[in-house]
C-alpha cells in the first residue's frame, strides 16, 4: 500500500502528553491500512483541556482541511449524549429509571409492553431492537412514523430476559419519553440543557446554517458476511444500514437520537469532561454526584447478543474491550466506524474522538483504542 503524504496537523498538547500527539499523527499513516482521512481529538482532565488536535481532510478528494470546529456524524456516540439527557431528568426528579415507559407514553403499553422500564430500554433489554414492519433507512427521518410503529409493536423477545443492542430504536424510545416529559424534542433538550450551556458542539437535528462545517462521511469497507442470532438479526436487517446517509441534508436535519449526532471532538470531550469532573464543567452542572452514580450503575452485566462483551449502565457501556484504555471503570459510548466519547471519574479524564473515514466495525481495532491507550499511559505515568 502506498502511503499518502502526512496532512497538516493543528492544535497543541500540554507538556507530558506528547505521546498522545504521536499516536494521533500515527493514525494518518498506519501500516495496517486503517488510516485517517480527517480526524480530531480532545482530552480533558479535572476540567482543563490538555489535548486539542485536528488534522487531515473533511472530504474524500482531500481538498478541504479539517478544522477545530469541524462537525461529523458520530453515529452511536450520540447515544451517550442522550443517556446524559435522560440522567438529567432522573436527577431532577422528573423521571425514574424504574418508571415504566408507558407511565409517560401511554400508547406504548400496547401489545404486552406495559411493564417495560426506562432502565430496560437504556440497557437494551426491551425487546425492541428492530421493526416488524418493513422499514427503510429514510423512514428513520420521520419521527412520528417510527415512534408510532414502536408504540404499536409487540416485543421481539420477553423484555428483561436478554440484552441485544437496540442500534437505532433506543433513541426513539428514550427520545419520545424525553419529549413527553419536557415538551421538547430530544434534540432541543440537548441543545438547550447540555450543549448550549457547556459550549459543546453537539447537535441532534442540525440547522442548515451549520452545514458548511460538516465533514463528508467515507463508508467503511463492505463487511464480511456473518451469521446473526435470532436477537441481533432484527437490528441488522430491517432496515439495513446506509453508511452514506450522513451526507444527505435530510438525515442531518432529522432527529435520530441513536445515530445522527453531528459533533466535534471538542463537543464530545466537553460533555464527558463534565461527567469526569463530578458532573460539572466551567460553572455548568449537568448531574449531581448521585445522578452521576445512577447513570453509571450497572444495569446488565452482559454479554449482549449483538455486540458481545458489554456491561450496560443507563445508556453507557463500561470499558470491557478495552476500547477506552486499560481501566474497567471508564465508561462512554462509541459510534459505528470509530468515534467515541468516554470518561473516567476516578482519574478525572475525558476523551472525545471524531473522524470521517469509518472503520469496519462499531469500534475499529486500531485508531481509537490506540489513542485511548496513549492518553491513559500519560495520565497514569
Catalytic, out of 3, 35, 48, 76: 76
Q: DSSP letter for 9, please.
A: E
Closest CA to 90 of 300, 284, 291, 313: 291
Angle at 189 between CA 38 and CA 253, to 5 degrees: 50
d(CA 324, CA 304): 18
Q: Is residue 76 flagged as an active site residue? A: yes
Please report, for residues 48, 91, 172, 201, 288, the alpha-carbon distance to residue 279 in angstroms, rounded to integers and kept in the order given: 14, 11, 25, 18, 6
**Three-state SS sequence of 163-196:** CCCCCCHHHHHHHHHHHHHHCCCHHHHHHHHHHH
232 CB contacts (<8 Å, ≥6 apart)?
A: 129, 164, 165, 305, 306
SS3 content of the chain, % helix, strand, coil (to 5): 35, 15, 50
Q: Can you spell out the DSSP letters for 255-270?
A: --TTT--EE-HHHHHH
Active site residues: 76
Amino acid at each position: 500500500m502506498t502511503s499518502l503524504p502526512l496532512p497538516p496537523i493543528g492544535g497543541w498538547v500540554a507538556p507530558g502528553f506528547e505521546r498522545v500527539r504521536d499516536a494521533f499523527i500515527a493514525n494518518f499513516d498506519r501500516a495496517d491500512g486503517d488510516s485517517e482521512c480527517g480526524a480530531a481529538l480532545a482530552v480533558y482532565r479535572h476540567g482543563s483541556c490538555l489535548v486539542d488536535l485536528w488534522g487531515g481532510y473533511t472530504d474524500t478528494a482531500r481538498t478541504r482541511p479539517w478544522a477545530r470546529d469541524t462537525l461529523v456524524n458520530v453515529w452511536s456516540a450520540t447515544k451517550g449524549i442522550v443517556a446524559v439527557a435522560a440522567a438529567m431528568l432522573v436527577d431532577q426528579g422528573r423521571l425514574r429509571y424504574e418508571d415504566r415507559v408507558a407511565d409517560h407514553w401511554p400508547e406504548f403499553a400496547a401489545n404486552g409492553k406495559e411493564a417495560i422500564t426506562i432502565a430496560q430500554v437504556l440497557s437494551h433489554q426491551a425487546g425492541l431492537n428492530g421493526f416488524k414492519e418493513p422499514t427503510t433507512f429514510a423512514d428513520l427521518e420521520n419521527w412520528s412514523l417510527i415512534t408510532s410503529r414502536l408504540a404499536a409493536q409487540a416485543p421481539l423477545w420477553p423484555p428483561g430476559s436478554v440484552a441485544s443492542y437496540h442500534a437505532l430504536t433506543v433513541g426513539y424510545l428514550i427520545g419520545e419519553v424525553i419529549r413527553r416529559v419536557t415538551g421538547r424534542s430530544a434534540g432541543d433538550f440537548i441543545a438547550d440543557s447540555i450543549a448550549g450551556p457547556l459550549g459543546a458542539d453537539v447537535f441532534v437535528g442540525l440547522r442548515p446554517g451549520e452545514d458548511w462545517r460538516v465533514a463528508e462521511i467515507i463508508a467503511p469497507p463492505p463487511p464480511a458476511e456473518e451469521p446473526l442470532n435470532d436477537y441481533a438479526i432484527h437490528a441488522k436487517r430491517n432496515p439495513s444500514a446506509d453508511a452514506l446517509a450522513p451526507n444527505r441534508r435530510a438525515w442531518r436535519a432529522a432527529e435520530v437520537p441513536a445515530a445522527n449526532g453531528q459533533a466535534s471532538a471538542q463537543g464530545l470531550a466537553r460533555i464527558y469532561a463534565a461527567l469526569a469532573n463530578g458532573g460539572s464543567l466551567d460553572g455548568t452542572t449537568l448531574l449531581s454526584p448521585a445522578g452521576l452514580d445512577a447513570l453509571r450503575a450497572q444495569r446488565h452485566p452482559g454479554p449482549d447478543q449483538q455486540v458481545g462483551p458489554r456491561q450496560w449502565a443507563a445508556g453507557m457501556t463500561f470499558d470491557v474491550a478495552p476500547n477506552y484504555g486499560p481501566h474497567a471503570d471508564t465508561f462512554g459510548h462509541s459510534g459505528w466506524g470509530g468515534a467515541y466519547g468516554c470518561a473516567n471519574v476516578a482519574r478525572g479524564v475525558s476523551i472525545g474522538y471524531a473522524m470521517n473515514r469509518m472503520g469496519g466495525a462499531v469500534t475499529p481495532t486500531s485508531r481509537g483504542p490506540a489513542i485511548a491507550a496513549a492518553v491513559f499511559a500519560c495520565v497514569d505515568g
